[in-house]
């Protein structure tokens, strides 16, 4: 484990959720705010945003099962439904019953399962307001990376997971940033270390994209019925969660505002943390 990850681990702790060790960080005081990360990264995505948001909020971010510093059992299913149920336990243990939510990438899919359970009375936790950051909510419109497409293949996925190099990962990861030089070597090392902790599960984790398509009838209608006011905060230069997804999300959500982040790619929280935090605070203060 490199120093960046060691420092991050020291800021949080591991909770027991159905026998799984789930890493979470909770900082600040004020109104509750929850951050859902995406694929293939983890809660470290929020490291630059967290100090800003925690000035006025009690902020929780976690590593979903299979990600970051959470357990990565080979035999676990890693469905989005499973991910939500574990996340629900974390939120209950930490007293986050009603909260504002920021979701990025795959985190928006786990958020859709939360919305589904809220609307059918399947959970006691609920969102007050929601901020969407560059997520492939409409998977058929997304443009996954070459490696993401391969990981979804029955036979090629396990081979890629086993033999993929750090150089390939770095090239693919940097390609979704508008400024490809933004990430430091230390940051690349940290993300690579967590991915290689258990390579075997990578195809299962990438399977959320197929599940997103398979369960579209379960999740997409929840967006049209979402009662929480929403902010869509979108990096316009994202090659994966393309701008057309943001436009459609804005049309289908009952109460939403769309803000474009010019010159920003797939990771707004890492590419422009101060700007993102400013938009989040303005939205939460005015709704």
Q: What is the 3-class SS of 84-131, one letter each residue?
A: HHHHHHHHHHCCCCEEEEEEECCHHHHHHHHHHHHHHCCCCCEEEEEE
Q: Which residues contact 224 (CB under 8 A, 6 or more apart)?
A: 252, 253, 254
145 alpha carbon, distance to own chain's centre = 17
Q: What is the pLDDT of residue 155?
A: 80
For residue 268, the domain's CATH number is: 3.40.50.1820
C-alpha R_g of the chain: 17
Domain enclosing residue 23, as ranges: 3-286
Q: What does the block give as tokens for 160?
A: 């890629």
Q: What is the pLDDT of residues 118-171, one digit of tens each?
A: 999 999 999 999 999 999 999 999 999 889 988 888 888 888 888 899 999 999
Cα-based distances in Å from 147 to 40, 44, 168, 192, 224: 11, 21, 9, 14, 32
**Most distant CA pair in the chain, distance:** 50
Dihedral sign computed on CA atoms, order 110, 51, 235, 41: negative
Give the chain's domain count: 1
Confidence of residue 191 (pLDDT cuts 50, 70, 90): very high
Task: Look at residue 188 and tell me whether its pLDDT is greater than 80.
Answer: yes
**What are the tens digits of pLDDT across the range 229-286?**
999 999 999 999 999 999 999 999 999 999 999 999 999 999 999 999 999 999 999 8
pLDDT in tens, 27-51: 999 999 999 999 999 999 999 999 9
């Amino acid at each position: 484990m490199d120093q960046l990850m060691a420092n991050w681990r020291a800021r949080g702790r591991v909770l027991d959720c159905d026998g799984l060790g789930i890493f979470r960080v909770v900082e600040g005081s004020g109104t509750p705010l929850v951050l859902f990360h995406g694929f293939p990264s983890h809660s470290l995505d929020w490291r630059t945003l967290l100090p800003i948001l925690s000035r006025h909020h009690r902020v929780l971010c976690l590593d979903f099962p299979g990600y970051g510093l959470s357990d990565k059992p080979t035999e676990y299913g890693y469905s989005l439904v499973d991910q939500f149920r574990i996340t629900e336990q974390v939120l209950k243990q930490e007293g986050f019953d009603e909260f504002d939510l920021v979701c990025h990438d795959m985190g928006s899919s786990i958020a859709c399962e939360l919305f589904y359970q809220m609307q059918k009375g399947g959970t006691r936790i609920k969102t007050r307001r929601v901020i969407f950051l560059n997520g492939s909510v409409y998977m058929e419109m997304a443009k996954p990376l070459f490696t993401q497409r391969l990981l979804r293949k029955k036979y090629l996925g396990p081979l890629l997971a086993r033999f993929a190099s750090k150089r390939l990962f770095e090239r693919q990861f940097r390609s979704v940033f508008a400024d490809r030089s933004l990430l430091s070597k230390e940051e690349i090392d940290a993300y690579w270390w967590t991915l290689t902790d258990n390579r075997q599960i990578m195809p299962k984790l990438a399977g959320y994209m197929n599940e997103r398509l398979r369960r579209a009838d379960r999740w997409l209608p929840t967006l049209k019925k979402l009662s929480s006011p929403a902010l869509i905060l979108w990096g316009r230069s994202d090659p994966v969660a393309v701008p057309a997804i943001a436009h459609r999300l804005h049309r289908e959500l009952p109460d939403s505002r769309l803000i474009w982040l010019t010159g920003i790619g797939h990771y707004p929280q890492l590419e422009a943390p101060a700007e993102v935090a400013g938009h989040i605070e303005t939205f939460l203060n005015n709704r």
